């Protein structure tokens, strides 16, 4: 009998986008983008033809609209997609602003937006905030008004595979009104901000930092994650040969230990958890990328290694202990510097599992784990000294009610109401220590990009030293050394 010994997380999922109902073409069917917006119904896609469209587009009190520039560019998985987005410059241009007011589930894709005025303005009212706005493969060339202006009435905004131009090196491209929503409601992945005079296509990334995501698999087809995937340099995909001889055939993005195949997207369906965790790591790196300055314009190259051990329900079993150990060994053997393990155990694993964790730490790898979500004492794995155990906080820096406590809690991070992506690329909000740990992993990535070669032990000391003391003064059982990020 297969007995569940571990579970991924708890979570609350919210709404998603439906498939487009009709296509409206500008200028073939409608003279202006605004005319098409006015005629569109929920679910419709507005295709904007090449050229410069001199208008400000207002999307007011609408639901489920996609505004998409027609382009000839392929989506390449080996090119950072923010760099690809820079190629949309000059293809489909809105010379004006895009105003998204009291609307929800709006997608803006493959457009260059130049102003005058703010590039994209997002807002609403207290009773109808702007919600689930997704900006993908866009170039937003801001002027003094800002690339992206967010008022206090917005929720859940994703800026994926897109560029924002800073007018000056000191200007934050994100201008938020006083009392704006929590910053966490903006998800930034595969994106950069750049100073005027710099072309995003010219930006060179840092030396890649590899994070193994030991989880339920990653939907790497999502624009906001595609540019962040680790690609095994020695493996030729799909030839049925273990080209570089690491013991795994055609393992391009990692390995699916649940199906015993090379691909999380084949075989048994993905549980959303691993994609969500990957999105959180990408967001931490993405937030740093929007604060790049002319003095230090180097985006951090994050590479996510996809190691699937959880099944379609986000569970694993006693029969999977060996897979967990193999996944940790795979991560170390194939160059991961950080391993994120957002899962926990309800019974003590066999010794060989802990041996794998100990081998990883001995190799200088940082292993980030979770306190767990049962409002109880730390369980196995969380309780291991070699794991950097992360507890969950609310947005008010209070320990989350579900977050486990104990003497091995090291750090805490936001784990309630976290915004990220699920398979298919839809924005969702979820809670759990599973989503606190990847914030810490993401910060470790930023340190490694700045200081290549840092060991896991050195990283752990850095992260603890920069944490903000919360909860009881000093180290405490609920929040460890304190809050990160
Ligand atoms: Ca191989
Ligand atoms: Ca091969
Ligand atoms: Ca598979
Ligand atoms: Ca404390």
Query: How many angstroms separate the alpha carbon of residue 341 from the centre of ligand 3?
Result: 19
Range of the domain at 436: 205-466
Does 13 fall in a domain?
Answer: no
Query: How many angstroms separate the alpha carbon of residue 241 from the centre of ligand 2?
Result: 4
Does 415 fall in a domain?
Answer: yes
In tens digits, what is the pLDDT along the chain, a chain of 485 residues?
A: 344 555 444 433 333 444 558 999 999 999 999 999 999 999 999 999 999 999 999 999 999 999 999 876 665 555 677 777 777 666 899 999 999 999 999 999 999 998 888 899 999 998 999 999 999 989 888 767 778 888 878 888 999 988 888 765 445 666 665 555 444 578 889 888 877 777 777 788 899 999 999 999 999 999 889 889 999 999 999 999 999 999 999 999 999 999 999 999 999 999 999 999 999 999 999 988 877 777 777 889 999 999 999 999 999 998 999 999 999 999 999 999 999 999 988 899 999 999 999 999 999 999 999 999 999 999 999 999 999 999 999 999 999 999 999 999 999 999 999 999 999 988 999 999 999 999 999 999 999 999 999 999 999 999 999 999 999 999 999 999 999 97
Query: How many angstroms separate the alpha carbon of residue 249 from the centre of ligand 1?
Result: 5
Task: State the pLDDT at residue 296.
Answer: 78
Q: Do 275 and 420 share a domain, yes or no?
A: yes
Q: Do 176 and 229 share a domain, yes or no?
A: no
Query: How many angstroms separate the alpha carbon of residue 472 from the centre of ligand 4?
Result: 4
Does 17 fall in a domain?
Answer: no
| 449-372-362 Cα angle (round to 5) | 45
Task: State the pLDDT at residue 154.
Answer: 86
Query: How many angstroms separate the alpha carbon of residue 266 from the centre of ligand 3?
Result: 4
Domain finish residue from 177, 202, 227:
202
Q: Do 284 and 180 share a domain, yes or no?
A: no
Query: How many angstroms separate the alpha carbon of residue 258 from the centre of ligand 3?
Result: 7
Domain finish residue from 174, 202, 230:
202
Ion ligand 4 neighbours, Cβ < 5 Å: 469, 471, 476
Ion ligand 1 neighbours, Cβ < 5 Å: 235, 242, 246, 248, 251
Does 484 fall in a domain?
Answer: no
356 φ, ψ (degrees, to nearest 5): -65, -45
Cβ distance 278 to 418 under 8 Å?
Answer: no
Q: Which two tokens stand for residue 226?
A: 């595609």
Q: Which two tokens stand for residue 206?
A: 């840092």
CATH number at residue 359: 3.40.50.200
Q: Which helix (H) or strand (E) holds 218?
A: none
For residue 172, the tally of other CB atoms under 10 A from its CB is: 14
* Residue 370 β-bridge partners: 390
The C-alpha atoms of residue 380 and residue 438 are separated, in whole angstroms, by 19
Does 472 fall in a domain?
Answer: no
Which listed ligand is nearest to 464 at the C-alpha? 4
CATH number at residue 46: 2.160.20.10
Q: Do 198 and 214 share a domain, yes or no?
A: no
Q: Provide the b/e sequence for 272-294 (b: ≥16 CB within 10 Å).
A: bbbbbbbbbbbbbbbbbbbebee
**What's the alpha-carbon Rg for the chain, to the nearest Å?**
22
Task: State the pLDDT at residue 195.
Answer: 75
- pTM recorded for the entire structure: 0.92
Does 76 fall in a domain?
Answer: yes
Q: Do 249 and 383 share a domain, yes or no?
A: yes
| 418-419-423 Cα angle (round to 5) | 120
Query: How many angstroms separate the alpha carbon of residue 355 from the centre of ligand 3?
Result: 26
Q: Do 197 and 226 share a domain, yes or no?
A: no
For residue 56, the tally of other CB atoms under 10 A from its CB is: 19
Which listed ligand is nearest to 250 at the C-alpha? 2
Query: How many angstroms separate the alpha carbon of residue 252 from the centre of ligand 2?
Result: 8
State the burial class of residue 408 (Cβ atoms within 10 Å of its Cβ: 0-12, 13-18, 19+). Answer: buried
Query: How many angstroms separate the alpha carbon of residue 246 from the centre of ligand 4?
Result: 43
Q: Do 65 and 180 share a domain, yes or no?
A: yes
Domain finish residue from 141, 176, 202:
202
85 φ, ψ (degrees, to nearest 5): -60, -30
Q: DSSP letter at 179?
A: T
Query: How many angstroms separate the alpha carbon of residue 317 from the centre of ligand 4?
Result: 35
Does 340 fall in a domain?
Answer: yes
Q: Do 180 and 280 share a domain, yes or no?
A: no
Q: Do 114 and 218 share a domain, yes or no?
A: no
The C-alpha atoms of residue 211 and residue 62 are separated, in whole angstroms, by 39
Which listed ligand is nearest to 412 at the C-alpha? 4
Domains held by the chain: number: 2
Does 5 fall in a domain?
Answer: no
Task: State the pLDDT at residue 367.
Answer: 98
Q: Do 223 and 368 share a domain, yes or no?
A: yes
Which listed ligand is nearest to 333 at the C-alpha? 1
What would the pLDDT profile of 114-131 be if each residue is shown by its tens digit?
A: 888 889 999 999 899 999
Task: State the pLDDT at residue 298.
Answer: 86
Q: Do 220 and 366 share a domain, yes or no?
A: yes
Query: How many angstroms separate the alpha carbon of residue 467 from the centre of ligand 4?
Result: 10
Which listed ligand is nearest to 467 at the C-alpha? 4
* Residue 133 β-bridge partners: 106, 157
Q: How are beta strands 163-166 and 139-141 bridged, if at all?
A: parallel
The C-alpha atoms of residue 336 and residue 206 are separated, in whole angstroms, by 16
Query: How many angstroms separate the alpha carbon of residue 302 from the centre of ligand 1?
Result: 21
* Residue 189 β-bridge partners: 160
Task: State the pLDDT at residue 14.
Answer: 37
Residues 6+ apart with CB under 8 A from 263: 253, 256
Query: How many angstroms separate the alpha carbon of residue 262 from the centre of ligand 3?
Result: 6
Q: DSSP letter at 460?
A: H
Q: Do 261 and 136 share a domain, yes or no?
A: no
The C-alpha atoms of residue 289 and residue 83 are separated, in whole angstroms, by 13
Q: Which helix (H) or strand (E) holds 442?
A: helix 437-450
Query: How many angstroms separate the alpha carbon of residue 397 from the centre of ligand 4?
Result: 11
Give the residue among 391, 434, 397, 394 at the shortest CA–CA distance from 416.
394
């Amino acid at each position: 009998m297969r007995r569940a010994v571990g579970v991924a997380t708890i979570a609350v999922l919210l709404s998603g986008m439906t498939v487009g109902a009709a296509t409206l073409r500008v200028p073939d069917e409608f003279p202006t983008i605004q005319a098409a917006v006015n005629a569109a119904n929920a679910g419709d896609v507005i295709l904007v033809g090449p050229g410069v469209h001199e208008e400000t587009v207002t999307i007011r009190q609408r639901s489920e609209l996609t505004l998409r520039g027609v382009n000839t560019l392929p989506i390449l998985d080996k090119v950072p997609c923010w760099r690809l987005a820079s190629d949309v410059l000059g293809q489909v241009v809105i010379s004006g602003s895009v105003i998204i007011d009291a609307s929800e589930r709006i997608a803006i894709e493959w457009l260059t937006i130049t102003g005058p005025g703010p590039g994209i303005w997002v807002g609403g009212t207290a009773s109808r905030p702007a919600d689930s706005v997704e900006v993908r493969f866009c170039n937003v060339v801001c002027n003094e008004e800002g690339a992206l202006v967010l008022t206090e009435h917005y929720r859940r905004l994703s800026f994926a595979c897109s560029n924002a131009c800073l007018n000056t090196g000191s200007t934050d491209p994100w201008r938020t009104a006083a009392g704006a929503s929590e910053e966490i409601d903006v998800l930034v992945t595969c994106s950069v901000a750049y100073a005027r005079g710099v072309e995003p296509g010219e930006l060179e990334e840092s030396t890649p930092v590899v994070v193994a995501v030991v989880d339920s698999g990653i939907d790497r087809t999502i624009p906001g994650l595609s540019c962040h995937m680790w690609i095994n340099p020695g493996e030729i995909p799909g030839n049925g040969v273990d080209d570089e001889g690491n013991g795994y055939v055609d393992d391009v993005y990692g390995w699916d230990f649940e199906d015993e195949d090379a691909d999380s997207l084949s075989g048994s369906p993905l549980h959303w958890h691993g994609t969500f965790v990957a999105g959180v790591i990408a967001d931490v790196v993405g937030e740093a990328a929007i604060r790049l300055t002319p003095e230090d314009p180097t985006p951090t190259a994050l590479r996510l290694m996809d190691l699937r051990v959880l099944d379609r329900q986000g569970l694993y079993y006693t029969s999977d202990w060996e897979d967990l150990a193999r996944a940790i060994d795979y991560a170390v053997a194939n160059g991961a510097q950080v391993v994120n393990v957002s899962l926990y155990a309800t019974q003590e694993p066999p010794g060989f599992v802990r041996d794998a964790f100990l081998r990883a730490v001995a190799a200088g790898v940082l292993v980030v784990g979770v306190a767990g979500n049962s409002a109880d004492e730390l369980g196995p794995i969380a309780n291991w000294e070699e794991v950097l155990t992360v507890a969950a906080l609310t947005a008010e820096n209070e320990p989350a009610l579900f977050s486990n406590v104990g003497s091995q809690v090291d750090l805490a991070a936001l784990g309630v109401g976290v915004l990220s992506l699920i398979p298919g690329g839809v924005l969702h909000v979820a809670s759990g220590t599973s989503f606190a740990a990847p914030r810490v992993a993401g910060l470790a990535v930023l340190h490694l990009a700045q200081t290549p070669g840092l060991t896991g032990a050195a990283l752990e000391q850095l992260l603890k030293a920069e944490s903000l003391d919360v909860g009881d003064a000093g180290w405490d059982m609920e929040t460890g050394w304190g809050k990160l990020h």
